[in-house]
Amino acid sequence: MNSRRDFLQKLGGSALALHLASVNSWAAGKNEYNELYDGPVLRVAIMGLGGYGSRVAEAMQSCVKAKLVGVISGTPSKVKDWQSKYGILEKNCYNYENFDRIIENPDIDAVYVITPNALHHDHVIRVAKAGKHVICEKPMALNAREGQEMIDACRKANVKLLVGYRMHFEPKTLEIIKMRKNGDFGKITFFQGLCGFKIGDPKQWRLNKQMAGGGALMDIGIYAINGARYMVGEEPVWVTAQETKTDPVLFKEGVDETIQFQFGFPSGATASCLSTYNMNNLDRFFLNGDKGFAELQPSTGYGPIKGRTNKGELTQPVTTHQTVQMEEMAGIILEGTPPVVPVDGEEALKDLKIIDAIYLAVKTNKKITLNL
């Protein structure tokens, strides 16, 4: 966890020039971290070089507290491409068979696990045993049992476990949370979360029960689950749910197409949510109180997030979510800076318990009591 000065001194001349150009463009207004930084740097290896891994890598080029220094992939050609594109050293490149050797590499502080859901459990535990901090994409695991085992492994290894809840750092989202805490909406009575899109390639891992652990609920519905919790500001105490499946060929047994689910909260507030792989134009959060309301639409997409309340349009800056997430997570790991909304394994475990309960509610057609 070297300082930024140490990090730059290790770069070659051309790489240094490119890096400083990146910092200068940041300072010129591309993001909110607009001053030169001379503190500790979190050196990150990304595991899983697919579409989202690439998005994170690109976003990290604007970070000052977090730097991409390593890769873990089962595809040698991708490793070579990333080495060339991001200046990654050969000694910081691993595959899925040998990445346990990062325990011997002092130049990697943390690993961001961006692999299919079913692989998170094993990958996170192996990274923890190698003594590195872990950032894991959501959902953290296939179920709450796996999630607890991952938390226990990281605690035993004395490393941090964070989860990729990028919306926990999004400015308009945080403004609504602040207004709710300040009482601007009065007593919260209702939340609605709509999350969905028409899924494409039928051969992708997201439609494979063994790899994804489910369907739309695991992939996109988790935004509504988590959003209901941080928007309402309470933990749900019961859940009901109903599944609709119109295409059993595409959405095979155990892969949900559309699930509607409802929560009840201790205050009496309720939530009505929907996750789907068969409808577009669904990316909306709505929070209602007896004195006002808040709406985000789009609410969780990559941006720009747009929102309004009963007081008018939200005008907080548009950000690159993954850039801000990695900057803030570096602060959490290196400096112990607490986020407004938690992003640790315990936070993710609550979502997994709710997911388990939603699937049970679908199966039994019963109201399921939650104890988070």
Two structure tokens written together for 282: 């669904």
What φ, ψ does residue 293 adopt, rounded to 5°? Answer: -145, 165
Two structure tokens written together for 159: 């490393």
Q: Give me the sign of the Cα torsion angle 337, 109, 130, 343.
A: positive
State whether residue 342 is helix, strand or coil.
Answer: coil
Q: How far is it, in rounded angstroms, from Cα 127 to Cα 121?
A: 10
Two structure tokens written together for 280: 């577009």
Catalytic-role residue among 112, 165, 223, 277: 223
Q: Are 15 and 25 in contact (CB under 8 A)?
A: no
Per-residue DSSP letter, 278: S
Residue 138: active-site member = yes
What φ, ψ does residue 19 adopt, rounded to 5°? Answer: -65, -45
Which of 46, 55, 207, 58 lies closest to 115, judged by CA? 46
In angstroms, how far is the first alpha carbon of the chain from the final one? 35
Q: Give me the sign of the Cα torsion angle 150, 151, 157, 160.
A: positive
What are the beta bridge partners of residue 264? 238, 270
Catalytic-role residue among 65, 132, 138, 353: 138
What φ, ψ does residue 289 adopt, rounded to 5°? Answer: -135, 175
Q: How far is it, in rounded angstroms, from Cα 302 to Cα 107?
A: 30
Residue with tokens 């941006």: 303
Q: How far is it, in rounded angstroms, from Cα 174 to Cα 190?
A: 18
Q: How far is it, in rounded angstroms, from Cα 111 to Cα 158?
A: 15
Peptide bond into 40 cis (omega under 30): no
What are the beta bridge partners of residue 313? 308
Residue 223: active-site member = yes
What are the beta bridge partners of residue 190? 270, 288
Catalytic residue IDs: 138, 223
